């Protein structure tokens, strides 16, 4: 059983969804076997126990669950010799071919995270920690905040001012940050899975390595943001401003990018297969070697875009602006180019087998032979031999 820190993070996210408890945390791991010690709301922990007893919780990410039972755990108050009743924790035991060294490594990472979360004393909470689990629409000013390691999962921080805040590694899953100002913020390796960031300002922010899976970033401003190595699976970018964003090698397969502004963005090697980019602005973007197989790019703006070596097989480019685009070595087999504008595009060594070109405009194109031109015209293309003015 290969459970590394990344997989453990995903397991925790799934357990939070199952328990409907965003405050759920792994506070310890038994070294004898993979026994996760969980703390959270009583209701959330009881829900996990009930799911196991009913047979619904038998595995997480294909890792079998052997047992789920309540235990007493030591809280921070115990360590400070404050007389309190022991807090109930939940032990979730997983089975498989367990490597003790791997478990020890996971345990060390969990303890380190718990220590970081406990560094803030209860009567000296950080500004964000004081806002945890509150519901407010009042703008919160937390700009230039010190590094925040708190668990803010499920928090309501609508219209919050987090400009240039250091949130590296913070837990903000399912948080509501809609309309917030996070421009220039360090959100690298932050957990924002399922969060609402619609309409927020993330311009110039560092989101490298961040978990944004299933987040809502519709109409958000991400211009100049660094999204390299971020988990963008299931993210809604509809109407978002991603101008000049760094999206190299990211996985955006199947994502909603309708009317998004990606002009000048770096999407080299990105996976955009089956993505919906209808009406998106991709002018002067770099999509070299990107996978756009079966993508929806109808009426998209791709003039001056670099698509060298890109896979556009089966893509819908009907009505798209591709004038002056570079499509050297690109694959356009079975693609839909009806009504598209490819005047001035470089088609050197481009694959155009079974491409649909009715009313597609060509002219002054590099890389297509006279024979290819005749074949395109026979299939309904419009060939213009004079340059644009």
**pLDDT tens digit sequence for 111-165:** 555 554 444 333 333 333 333 333 434 444 444 344 444 445 555 677 789 999 9
pLDDT attached to residue 196: 92
State which residues form the domain around 17: 5-117
- Total structural domains within the chain: 1
Residue 285 has pLDDT above 90, yes or no: yes
- Tell me if 389 is assigned to some domain: no
Distance CA 110, CA 93 (A): 16
Query: According to the model, what pLDDT value does residue 367 have?
Result: 94
Residue 94: phi, psi to the nearest 5? -115, 150
Residue 384 is assigned to a structural domain of this protein: no
Question: Would the pLDDT of 335 be above 50?
Answer: yes
Q: Is residue 188 part of a domain?
A: no
Predicted confidence band of residue 11 (pLDDT cuts 50, 70, 90)? confident
| Buried/exposed code over 142-177 (b: 16+ C-beta within 10 A; e: otherwise) | bbebeebbbbbbbbbbbbbbbbbbbbbbbbbbbbbb
- pLDDT tens, 45-92? 888 888 888 887 888 766 788 888 888 655 433 334 333 344 468 887
Nearest to 250 by CA among 238, 267, 234: 267
**Is the backbone of residue 272 left (phi > 0), alpha (psi -120 to 50) or beta?**
alpha
For residues 167-182, average pLDDT: 91
Tens-digit pLDDT profile for residues 296-309 = 999 999 999 999 99
Residues 389, 346: contact at Cβ < 8 Å? no
Report the percentage of the chain scoring pLDDT > 70.
74
Does some domain include residue 43?
A: yes
- Does some domain include residue 224? no
């Amino acid at each position: 059983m290969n459970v590394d820190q990344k997989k453990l993070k995903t397991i925790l996210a799934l357990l939070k969804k199952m328990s409907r408890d965003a405050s759920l945390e792994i506070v310890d791991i038994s070294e004898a076997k993979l026994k996760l010690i969980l703390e959270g709301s009583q209701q959330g922990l009881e829900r996990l126990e009930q799911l196991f007893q009913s047979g619904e919780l038998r595995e997480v990410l294909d890792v079998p669950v052997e047992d789920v039972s309540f235990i007493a755990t030591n809280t921070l108050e115990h360590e400070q010799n404050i007389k309190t009743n022991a807090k109930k924790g939940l032990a979730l035991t997983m089975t498989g071919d367990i490597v003790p060294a791997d478990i020890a490594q996971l345990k060390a990472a969990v303890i380190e995270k718990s220590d970081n979360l406990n560094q803030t004393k209860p009567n000296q909470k950080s500004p964000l920690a004081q806002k945890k689990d509150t519901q407010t629409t009042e703008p919160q000013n937390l700009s230039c905040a010190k590094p925040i390691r708190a668990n803010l999962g499920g928090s309501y921080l609508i219209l919050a001012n987090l400009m240039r805040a250091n949130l590296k590694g913070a837990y903000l899953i399912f948080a509501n940050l809609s309309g917030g100002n996070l421009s220039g913020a360090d959100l690298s390796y932050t957990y924002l899975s399922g969060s609402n960031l619609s309409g927020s300002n993330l311009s110039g922010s560092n989101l490298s390595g961040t978990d944004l899976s299933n987040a809502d970033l519709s109409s958000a401003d991400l211009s100049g943001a660094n999204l390299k190595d971020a988990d963008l699976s299931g993210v809604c970018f509809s109407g978002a401003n991603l101008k000049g964003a760094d999206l190299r090698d990211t996985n955006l397969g199947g994502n909603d990018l309708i009317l998004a502004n990606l002009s000048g963005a770096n999407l080299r090697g990105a996976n955009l297969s089956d993505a919906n980019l209808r009406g998106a602005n991709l002018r002067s973007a770099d999509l070299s070697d990107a996978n756009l197989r079966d993508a929806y790019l109808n009426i998209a703006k791709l003039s001056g875009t670099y698509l060298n070596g890109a896979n556009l097989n089966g893509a819908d480019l009907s009505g798209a602006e591709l004038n002056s685009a570079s499509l050297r070595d690109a694959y356009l087999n079975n693609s839909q180019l009806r009504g598209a504008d490819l005047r001035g595009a470089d088609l050197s060594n481009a694959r155009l087998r079974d491409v649909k070109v009715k009313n597609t405009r060509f002219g002054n194109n590099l890389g297509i032979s006279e024979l290819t031109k005749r074949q395109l015209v026979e299939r309904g293309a419009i060939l213009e031999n004079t340059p644009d003015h």
